[in-house]
Every structure is written in structure tokens, then in C-alpha cells.
Amino acid sequence: MPAVAPSFILKEMSAVPNKTFYLETFGCQMNVHDSEKVIGTLISQGYRQVETVQEAGLVLYNTCSIRDKAEQKVFHRLADYKALQKQGKKFGVLGCVAQQEGERIFQRAPHVSLVCGSASYRNLPEMLVQIEAGKSRVTGLDDRQTDQTFETEYTARSNPHRGYITIIEGCDKFCAYCVVPFTRGKERSRTSDSVLAEARKMADQGFTEIQLLGQNVNSYRDPSGKKTFAELLASVGEIGGVRRVWFTTSHPRDFGKDIVDAVDAVPALCDHVHLPVQSGSTRVLDLMKRLYTRDQYLERISWMKAARRRISITTDIIVGFPGETESDFAETIDLLNEVEYDGVFSFKYSPRPNTPALTYIDSIPEEEKVRRLAVLNARQKEISAALNQRHLGETLEVMVEGLNPARGQWIGRTSQHKVLNFTTSGGEEPRIGQYLPVRVTATFPNSLLGEMTV
């Protein structure tokens, strides 16, 4: 049996009556890929995935606790389905909220039977046996010191063309606002040999896009000492059949020029880097415990600006962090103007459990946080619109992701991670997963519009 099998193959393997499960995922790409591995693990244990809660015997929520809103959504969902416990359904909470809240989840949602943190997924088969035996409360909660990664030969990949590979789990950075180091454990990397073996098998199965994942993907340290992150990146990009390689999320402290050199040297490496800055003020970066200054961050930006390929740069920014003055916020806006990001994911600060920032005085009123967020988003919209206009008239290669029938447009994505919707002029219809040349005919702040040229 292959080490990594598409979901449609895995689903055919399971036909055990009454062992059905429903899994809903909240959060980032790491959670999405964790769910693919969880699904594969359950199917290997004789379970069958179903599409609705009502059909399932086991209902699972893979959770995110980065922001309070995501966490509350999980508990609201659990409350909505509490009555279904009378039908014999079992409920489980997986992921970051499970690790953060632990057995307190049983108090808050007594109908939950399974609580399993992301660092304990490898123990799911044994935990399922306990659930099947009638045990009402089963927990899997590793501490931060675990050295284990979640490698499994059963991965139910949801997309037959683009696949994820987690190369490093956990986080050792301890940013003042972030709960991830407490919920996903310490940084622990897979060997480069195991990553490359998985990538080759994916290529053999027809995957053309591979995304390397980690909370801080470029903090990767090969346990075998064979490859740096940049060398691993290049090696994945040189595998036959792989057309595009993405990586996310990078931490500025560990972002080296060798990564930019690899992107320049290996055509399959996408010309896009997501490099979260969080603030343009060195003073606020210090309060956030981000481990770099504004000038150090800008040095990394300069490496990308000097690359032979035009690298698309996106980032994350938090506004309203405790202690952020109007002057600090102005420095963030100034950073937008200096870097000219292609896109920004922006958030208002919200306190998270166990984080150092809980001891800070959050004196910035909510309405001021809202205002700053609106100002930032408005300025970034102008920048994104201006940058996208540069593509007008260019012919870009897209990977076809789907069809929007309401607009009669196909949905594509460029190697710079830009959405390029396009129309065809008749002839053979595009296929999802196909790579096509598209000429850009119109631009918008968040997307491009074009016509297929073949």
C-alpha cells in the first residue's frame, strides 16, 4: 500500500458498518493537513467518513485557538449538537483548543468523549479502541517536551493536484500574543529523507503542487544534518513532475538569503513569500517578543527585492497591541508604503490564554482598534491595486482550481499566489489541475481577470 494515498482510494478501503465519522476543521493550513492525516488514520481503522453530523456515529472538531472567535465557534458548535448525544453519537475535540483547555472541555461540554491535542494524533488508534469499548472520557494531551511528529502512511488528501507536507511541528519562539507554543509543543523537524520520500510518492501519484508546512517552516532543522531548509526546498522543487512548491509560514528571524537564492535558482519554487511582520515599530516588536527589529526585517525584504525573479510578498499585521501608540501605528503604515506588500492579513489584537501579553495593560479602546484596522486595510487596498495593475497585458501561467458558474469564469492561481479568474473563447474546456497561459485584461485589489490564450 502506498505511504500517501488520495482520499478516494482510502474511502474505498473502509466498509465497516456503524463506524462512521464527521470531521469539521477550523483554522490554518496546518489544521487542514492535520485533518487529512486524521481522516486517513480513522479510515485505516475501519471508519467511514460521512458528509453530515446527522449521519455520523463519531463527530470530531479539529480546532484552532489563534483567535478567540475561532475558539468560541467550536464551543457553539458543540452546544448546537448536544441533543444528538441521545442518539448514541460520540463527540471529540482535537487540535489546539483541546491541548489548551484539556479536561476542562469535559466540564464545559460534558457530552464530549474525546479530547486530543495535535501532538497526540499518533495515539488516535489506541484512543479509538477505548471509545469503542465504551469509555466515556478519553484524553491525549502531550506536554511541550514531546519529540514525536505526526507521520502516518494514511493521509486522505482532499485535493488530487495540490498536497501538503508538514516538515516541522511546534514552535519555540514564544511571541507575547501567541498561544501556539503552548498548544503544539516544541519545534521538532522530520528528517529530510522522510520529507523527500513523501514528496516523491506524491509526484508519482500525480500531485503537481506541494506545499511545505510548519508554524515556522523556515526554522526547520534536519535531524540527520543532511540539508538546510533552503536545500530541502530546492530538492523538493527538483523532483520530476512537481510544477510548483510553496512554503508557509516563515519567521523573519530564521529567514536567510539562501532561501531567496533557492527561489531564484529553481523554477518550480513559487515566487511568493509570506513573511509576517506584525508591526512596523521596533518598540512594539520588542513588546511582542518577535526577536527582530524593523531594520532586520527590512534587510530580508531587500534580499527579495534584489532577486532576479519578482517575488510577491505577503504578511500578517496586528493592530492595537497593548502599548501601541499612534506613533507606533504610523510606523506600521509607513512600513506598508516602504515594502509595498502584495497582500496583508490584518487582525485586531485579542488576548489569548497562557500568553505573556495577558500581563500587559490592554488600554487601547475597541473602537480605536477598529479604526486602525480600517486605516491599514484601506491603505493596503490602494497598494495592492497599484501592484496588480502592473500585470495588465501580461500572460501568466495559472493552475486551474475551479469554475464559478454564476460568472462564467474559471478560477486560477498564479505562481505569485494571485487569483486570476479567466474566460475561454470556446474549444476544449479547461480541467481542474491543468496549467494554462492567461492574458490579464483587468485588475482589482484582490484579484486579476483574464482570457485564456490557447
pLDDT above 70 coverage of the chain, percent? 95
Answer with the residue of higher pLDDT: 73 or 214: 214
User: Cα separations (Å) of 345 from 281, 316, 317, 413?
Assistant: 17, 5, 6, 18
Q: What mean pLDDT do residues 321-333 have?
A: 98
Q: Of 66-70, 76-80, 247-251, 284-288, give the lowest mean pLDDT range.
A: 66-70
Mean pLDDT of the chain: 91
d(Cα 454, Cα 447) in Å, to the nearest integer? 21
Residue 190: helix, strand or coil by DSSP? coil
What pLDDT is attached to residue 147? 75
Q: What is the pLDDT of residues 413-441, one digit of tens each?
A: 999 999 999 999 877 899 999 999 999 99
Q: To which residue does cell 502516518 refer? A: 152
What pLDDT is attached to residue 5? 36
Nearest CA to 89 among 54, 42, 40?
54
- What is the CATH number that goes with domain 395-452? 2.40.50.140
Q: Of 13-17, 272-276, 440-444, give the lowest mean pLDDT range.
A: 13-17
pLDDT band at 313 (very low <50, low <70, confident <90, very high): very high
Helix (H) or strand (E) holding 209: strand 209-213
What pLDDT is attached to residue 64? 84
Q: What is the pLDDT of residues 221-272, one digit of tens each?
A: 999 999 999 999 999 999 999 999 999 999 999 999 999 999 999 999 999 9
Q: What is the pLDDT of residues 148-207, one digit of tens each?
A: 777 777 687 888 999 999 999 999 999 999 999 988 889 999 999 999 999 999 999 999
Q: Top-level CATH class of 7-140?
A: alpha beta
Beta-carbon contacts of 1 under 8 Å, excluding residues fewer than 6 positions away, are: 153
User: Cα separations (Å) of 152 from 3, 15, 247?
Assistant: 8, 21, 21
Cis peptide before 249 (omega within 30 of 0): yes
Q: What mean pLDDT do residues 4-25 have?
A: 55
What pLDDT is attached to residue 157? 87
C-alpha cell of residue 216:
515556522
pLDDT above 90 coverage of the chain, percent? 73
What pLDDT is attached to residue 1? 30
Answer with the residue of higher pLDDT: 63 or 293: 293
pLDDT band at 73 (very low <50, low <70, confident <90, very high): confident
Nearest CA to 259 among 274, 239, 279, 244?
274
What pLDDT is attached to residue 75? 87
d(Cα 206, Cα 235) in Å, to the nearest integer? 18
Region class of 26: left (phi > 0), else alpha (psi between -120 and 50), else beta: beta
Beta-carbon contacts of 190 under 8 Å, excluding residues fewer than 6 positions away, are: 149, 151, 166, 167, 168, 223
Please give the CATH architecture assigned to the domain spanning 278-389. 2-Layer Sandwich (3.30)
Q: What mean pLDDT do residues 29-54 have?
A: 91
Q: What is the pLDDT of residues 260-274, one digit of tens each?
A: 999 999 999 999 999
Domain with CATH 2.40.50.140 in the chain: 395-452
Which CATH number is correct for 159-259+266-270, 3.40.630.30, 2.40.50.140, 3.40.50.300, 3.30.750.210?
3.30.750.210
Q: What is the pLDDT of residues 342-353, one digit of tens each?
A: 999 999 999 988
Domain with CATH 3.30.750.210 in the chain: 159-259+266-270
Q: What mean pLDDT do residues 377-396 have?
A: 98
Q: How many helices (H) and strands (E) does the chain have?
A: 14, 19
Structural contact between residues 192 and 224, judged by C-beta atoms closer than 8 angstroms = yes
What pLDDT is attached to residue 183? 86
d(Cα 82, Cα 53) in Å, to the nearest integer? 11
The answer, yes or no, to whether residue 4 has pLDDT greater than 50, is no
Q: What mean pLDDT do residues 379-390 have?
A: 98
3-state helix, strand and coil shares in percent for the chain, rounded to the nearest 5: 35, 20, 40
Q: What is the pLDDT of residues 87-137, one digit of tens each?
A: 889 999 999 889 888 888 999 999 999 999 887 888 888 999 998 888 889
The answer, yes or no, to whether residue 11 has pLDDT greater than 60, is no
What pLDDT is attached to residue 12? 35
Q: What mean pLDDT do residues 13-18 have?
A: 40
Domain with CATH 3.30.750.200 in the chain: 278-389
pLDDT band at 8 (very low <50, low <70, confident <90, very high): very low
What pLDDT is attached to residue 390? 97
pTM: 0.87
pLDDT band at 80 (very low <50, low <70, confident <90, very high): confident
